[in-house]
Structure 1
Amino acid sequence: MSFVKELKKSPIAILGAGAVGKAVGADSVLAGNRVHLYELPEYAEISLKHVEKTGITIGGNQNNLYGFERRGKAKFDLVTTDIREAVKGAKLIIVAVPSIAHDRFFDELVPVLEDGMIVHIIPDNFGSLKLRKKMRELHCDKEVIVGGWTSAPYGARIVKEGGVLTPRIELKYRAITLRGAALPMTDQDIFLESSKAIGSFDAITEGDGVTGGQTVLDIGFSNVNPVLHCPGTILGASVMENFGRVFGGNDPYQYSIYSHAYSQSVAEVQYAFYLEQVQLAEAIGVDLQRYPKKNFLSRTSILGPEYMGDDCIVPFEEQFPMAYGTGPFSIQDRYITEDVPVGCHIYHQLGKKYGVATPVIDSMITLGSVMTGQSFFETGLTLEDLDLAHLSAEETLAYLEKGQFRKAET
């Protein structure tokens, strides 16, 4: 407990001022943490505008099994575009940005890392591997702990009015458990324990608690976004694009993938996608979050257990309160433009490396590429990007578990 108390004495540096960064930061402030909010200078005009003056107000339904709620207006101790200023005095660093922004943020972060810092990547999306690679490239030998989580502690949406960002964030739900892992696994216990010092994890700490994944590859496989978003968006594209035109009233922005795209047949594709992930994890020698098929055949799918427990099952045949306005509203949404080239493409490459067929996952890459006019097989995240391509199966596990890394021959 003294370790957690000591961490709480230091400010938390939140890198990224999007919905997740602002929500995690504001929620942590309301819990008693001192928080520094950082954004890249090129995005500050939009994401940090007025934040020093208004703070961020947390609201929303905040659904969860144990009824945990926290609401109110939070003012940050520091709002800045100076990375050195942001991490000064911080022991906990939270990277809360989409995976496509990892490289840019890591370029800024690595030169200012200090011994004893603990970096949490929310969600990880293979960011831990990219950060360790960046540290090697920049010859950073600081003693830091690096790890990531399967998702954010909640579904957060910035409230917009007339297309303008307001200082209000709605939390759709609060997770009561999250799966995390450190790179290497030898740092796992400290990494998981440190989450208790982060106020935005309180619903988890006071709920069912965090669970440890079997390496950060486990955390990548356990991220629910690719398996839910890609089949749902691609197979539901006609409903999404016709919503507000042919049916659904006059407002296309009332569309929700959960209410209007998910169905029994779509769930079968999601489950088949998941089984390919299971085969990949087992071939590599790691694990992932396990789900029975009944969770997929539910309107809450595999997201429901994260905030309502394992008994959260709503058959498609039953009436259920509809979700509206959660999107996505275009095929050019990051449900495809991030989840296909990052999640799906890494699974594809791991399948080739370990001899596991991934036809359902590959179909998501093919269809996503055609529908967006992009070439995700060519532009997707690669094993080279993660410094895993040159490692044998045994070397990969040695790196993930013990930190024993062999550099590629030049």
Structure 2
Amino acid sequence: MSSSRIAVLGGGNTAFALAANLSRRGHEITLWELPSQAASLEPIRERGEIALDGVAERGIARISRITTQIAEAAESDVMLVPVPSYAHRAFAEALVPHLREGHLVALLPGNLGSLQLARLAREAGRADGVVFAEVDTAPYVCRKTAPDRAHIWGVVTGLGLGVFPAVETDGAVDRLADLFPGIRPYPNALACGLAATNPIMHPAGVLMNAGRIERSRGDFYFYEEGVTPAVVRAVKAVDSERQAVAKAFGLTLDPVEEAYWRGGFGPRGDLWATINGSQMLTALRAPGSMETRWLTEDIPYGIATWALLGRERGVPTPTIDALVALGSVVTGLDCWRTARTPADLGIAGMSQDQLARYLQTGG
């Protein structure tokens, strides 16, 4: 295993778990957070340590640098961004002025955010020589269990990677393979964003369990108890519409149960069998309220974006549209208004040939 300098941007569950796990594996880690969110770093700032438990590395992880100065994070050639999609814009505004040739920026996961980041960087004149990437799900099933401690219940063994421009895919895989063993490439960043698994499952699952979530404050196992046959049928309807959108863009994507199996979440089978046979997923408890990123992220930055892409190609998405409407009512957010649009991604109005060329070469 080779050692490298890695910047982890963020201060949440996955950021702490990722920083600790990679540090324990011998990498030099800079952990950066937005100045407005610096409180998340305070519990570890003095000692520079995160305690890590679970199925990956275990023990005390030394974090080489903890900072709110983005220029310090940008000294690393590889920057990993494990933050919710609704934070991507704020992180981009901080990061873009410091991008330089040789940087690889990977969103974990991306939900097509790599395309938006690339557009913002290009508009600022900072995209030359920069590789933008995203993965299809978070690399770990993990949580903070204390302000200075993280626990990893599962490691995704077949993490999917999309790269922009796609011509840089082989190089990006080489640079990330040691950090995420088993990482596998998609044809391009659009394919990766349309293959994200959380938006397929979470909106339907949470909305159909709304009463139980609010009554119990999330005191049940979401996948084991909440994903019943009726929920599975709704999820499969979302999945079918997602695949139809992808097909309209010339992409063929695995059904969600196959994606879960390839990612190492559970055994191969139909969706019901894969979920119920998953040690990782069945260990997860439900959100404690309806104010959860499983709705506030996975609707506007997941399924709503897929529906808007569908409209670009004339593909109907009735189940997704219904979930976006219901999710907007439940959360009090206008999920259509806040959705990541084709224009945000820099691909609005492109023909199939124009899009293919842009995704491949960046030009």
Q: TM-score with structure 1 length normalisation? A: 0.82
Aligned to 1:331: 290
For the pair 1:277 / 2:213, whether they are aligned, the reply is: no
Question: Deviation at 1:86?
Answer: 1.8
**1: CA distance, partners of 2:278 / 2:312:** 43
1:156 aligns with 2:130: no
**Do 2:267 and 2:278's aligned partners in 1 also have CA atoms closer than 8 Å?**
no
Aligned CA RMSD, in angstroms, stands at 2.4
Match of 2:206 among 226, 233, 251: 233
Find the counterpart in structure 1 of residue 192 from structure 2: 219
Q: Does 1:173 align with 2:132?
A: no
- Structure 1 residues 285 and 263: CA distance shift in structure 2, 3 A: same
The one-character-per-residue Cα deviations of 1:369-400 (angstroms, maximum 9, x if unpaired) are 11112221222221111111132232112111
CA distance in 2, matches of 1:319, 1:343: 26
On the 8 A contact 1:214/1:287 being kept in 2, the answer is: no
Match for residue 142 of structure 1 among 103, 122, 128: 128
> Which amino acid letter does the alignment assign opposite residue 392 of structure 1?
S
Determine which of 305, 312, 315 is the counterpart of 1:356: 315
Of 96, 99, 116, 2:85 maps to 99
Deviation of 1:309 (Å) = 5.5
- In structure 2, the partner of 1:186 is 167
Asked whether 1:390 is paired with 2:314, we answer no
Cα distance in 2 for residues equivalent to 1:303 and 1:223: 10
**1:258 maps onto 2:218 in alignment:** no
Residue pair 1:276, 1:358 contacting (<8 A) in 2 also = yes
Q: How many Å separate the matches in 2 of 1:274 and 1:76? A: 40
Is this contact kept in 2: 1:36–1:78, CA < 8 A?
Answer: yes
Count of aligned residue pairs for this structure pair: 361
Tell me the residue number matched to 1:162. none
User: Which amino acid in the other structure matches residue 118 of structure 2?
Assistant: R
Unmatched runs of 5 consecutive residues or more in structure 2: none
How far apart, CA to CA, are the structure 1 residues paired with 2:275 and 2:104? 46
Partner SS, residue 155 of structure 1: strand
State the shift of 1:52 in Å.
Answer: 4.0
Whole-Å separation in 2 of the counterparts to 1:121 and 1:158 = 20
Q: Which residue of 2 aligns with 1:246?
A: none
Once residues 52 and 112 of structure 1 are traced to their aligned partners in structure 2, the CA distance between those partners, rounded to angstroms, is 27
Q: 1:254·1:324 contact (CA, 8 Å) conserved in 2?
A: no
Shift of 1:134: 1.0
Distance in 2, matches of 1:97 and 1:76, equals 18
User: Helix, strand or coil for the counterpart of 1:364?
Assistant: helix
* Aligned-partner residue type, residue 185 of structure 1: A
Q: 1:327-354 CA deviation, whole Å, 9 max, x = no partner? A: 2121121111111111111111111110
Within 5 Å, give how 1:4-403 maps onto structure 2: 5=2, 8=3, 10-53=4-47, 55-60=49-54, 62=55, 69-88=56-75, 90-159=76-145, 165-198=146-179, 201=180, 205=181, 209-243=182-216, 252-291=217-256, 295=257, 303=260, 305-308=262-265, 310-311=267-268, 315=273, 323=282, 326-403=285-362
Distance change in 2, residues 1:323/1:147 (3 Å): closer
Q: Distance between the aligned counterparts of 2:84 and 2:254, measured in 1?
A: 21
Task: For 1:318 and 1:334, locate their aligned partners in 2 and report how far apart those are by CA, in whole Å.
Answer: 23
- CA distance in 2 between counterparts of 1:274 and 1:381 reads 19
Larger Rg: 1
Distance (Å, rounded) in 2 between the aligned partners of 1:289 and 1:181 = 15
CA distance in 1, matches of 2:25, 2:44: 22
> What per-residue deviation string (whole Å, max 9, x for no partner) do you get for residues 282-317 of structure 1?
1101233345xxx39xxxxx6455225643776499
Match of 2:141, SS state, is strand
Q: SS of the residue aligned with 1:254?
A: coil
CA contact (8 A) 1:15 1:96 kept: yes
In 2, the alpha carbon distance for the partners of 1:388 and 1:258 equals 35
8 Å contact from structure 1 (residues 230, 364) kept in 2: yes
CA contact (8 A) 2:49 2:148 kept: yes
Confirm or deny: 8 A CA contact 1:218 1:286 kept in the other structure.
yes
Q: State how far apart, in whole Å, the 2-side matches of 1:87 and 1:319 are.
A: 41
Letter in 1 for 2:190: L
The answer as to whether partners of 1:52 and 1:76 remain within 8 angstroms in 2 is no
Equivalent pair of 2:41/2:66 in contact (CA under 8 Å): no
Alpha-carbon shift at residue 11 of structure 1 (Å): 1.2
Counterpart position of 1:408: none
Q: Confirm or deny: 8 A CA contact 2:96 2:124 kept in the other structure.
A: yes
Q: What secondary structure is seen at the aligned counterpart in 1 of 2:148?
A: strand
- Share of identical aligned residues, percent? 29
